[in-house]
Amino acid sequence: MPSALILIADGTEEIEFTITYDTLVRAGVKCTSAYVHSEETASKDRMSPPFVQGSRGINILPDTYLSQQAHAPDHYDLLVIPGGAKGAETISSSSPVQSLVRAYLKEGKYVGMICAGSLAALRSGLPKQPLTSHPSVKSQLEKDFDYSEEPVVVSGHLVTSRGPGTAFPFALTLVELLCGEQKRTEVAGPMIFPPGTFA
């Protein structure tokens, strides 16, 4: 069974997190959410992750804290970094996350980034390649990458997307890469997308 590690922090965009998580589960992918703490919460000793408050104030309880050892690429097939300005800043600025991004790609595992989550590509020092993001962070990325405004951009094992409105095609692309085109079709069908949409 394929597996995915989906990162989350205070300020993560709820739509991008939940749609990706939900769609992958529908495809039979085993998903784990991992909390990435900010500098303010780093020193607090907790036995279990706190509720994360998303960008729209919705509380989500992560499965675990992020651990470089426990969440290394030999344990998962996919690493997902959602957006949301505050959450993406916390996640992309995390040196453990940056190390994991490089490690996953080096091991031939997939890394998905959506919205401002694409800042992790820049801060992880990835080489110049096709990429997209939310327009709000385009200026930070377009000099170092071949910037695109397509809804989803696949560059080798790096998959990027634009924002909440592209969360479904982003998630379904990840399903296709992990599980095949037929599984994407099987998952998308019961969701009943209107005719003419991306699915």
Catalytic residue at 179? no
Catalytic residue among 13, 31, 89, 134: 134
**Alpha-carbon gap, residue 141 to 150, rounded angstroms:** 15
AA letter at 30: K
Check 13, 14, 16, 89 and give the catalytic one. Answer: 16
Spell out the residues 6+ positions from residue 20 whose beta carbon is closer than 8 angstroms to its own: 6, 80, 82, 112, 114, 167, 170, 171, 174
Query: Is residue 115 flagged as an active site residue?
Result: yes
- Give the DSSP letter string of 167-192: HHHHHHHHHHHHH-HHHHHHHHGGG-
The SS3 assignment for 52 reads strand
Which of 31, 89, 115, 179 is an active site residue? 115
Which residues, other chains included, contact 124 with Cβ-Cβ below 8 Å and sequence gap of 6+?
92, 97, 98, 101, 102
**Catalytic residue flag (residue 16):** yes
For 108, how many CA atoms within 13 A lie in the half-sphere containing its CB? 0
Give catalytic residue positions.
16, 115, 134
